[in-house]
Amino acid sequence: MKSKTTALILSILVGGLGVDRFYLGYTGMGVLKLLTGGCFGILWIIDIVNIATGKLLPADGSAYDDLEVRSNATQQVVSTAYDELEKAAKLHEQGILSDDEFAKIKTDLLEKM
């Protein structure tokens, strides 16, 4: 999987030479940009915008790796907070936590989600 951040950095720094297109798997467009100086700078700018907005994806059709990492991290935080909230609810039902203590824990955990 390709990184959107890497593709964007390559496009900004050496996109005029087609390195960004080679990285994403578009060999033909990479050669064209290499031979024409990023189609005289026009395609270079277009590619920067398209990569930044997510319209230019890797040639194999996969999503950028950066998006999955962010999504997985968010799911882990929500899952952990949910587990902690469930434990606090059980302690509250058993009478170990008072209503005020449970409300404070619940508020803190819901803010994490």
Domain count, the chain: 2
pLDDT at 97: 83
pLDDT at 60: 86
Task: Kindly report, residue by residue over 57-112, the tens digit of the pLDDT.
Answer: 899 888 887 655 555 555 666 667 778 888 888 888 888 888 888 888 888 877 77
Based on the fold, state whether residues 57 and 74 are members of the same structural domain.
no
Q: What is the pTM of this model?
A: 0.58
Based on the fold, state whether residues 51 and 91 are members of the same structural domain.
no
Based on the fold, state whether residues 28 and 47 are members of the same structural domain.
yes
Please tell me the distance from the alpha carbon of residue 113 to that of residue 67, in angstroms, as a whole number.
Answer: 18
Residues 6+ apart with CB under 8 A from 71: none
Based on the fold, state whether residues 103 and 80 are members of the same structural domain.
yes
Based on the fold, state whether residues 33 and 8 are members of the same structural domain.
yes
Which is nearest to 45 in space by CA: 59, 61, 33?
33
Which residues span the domain enclosing 96?
66-112
DSSP 65-103: HHHHHHHHHHHHHHHHHHHHHHHHHHHHHTTSS-HHHHH
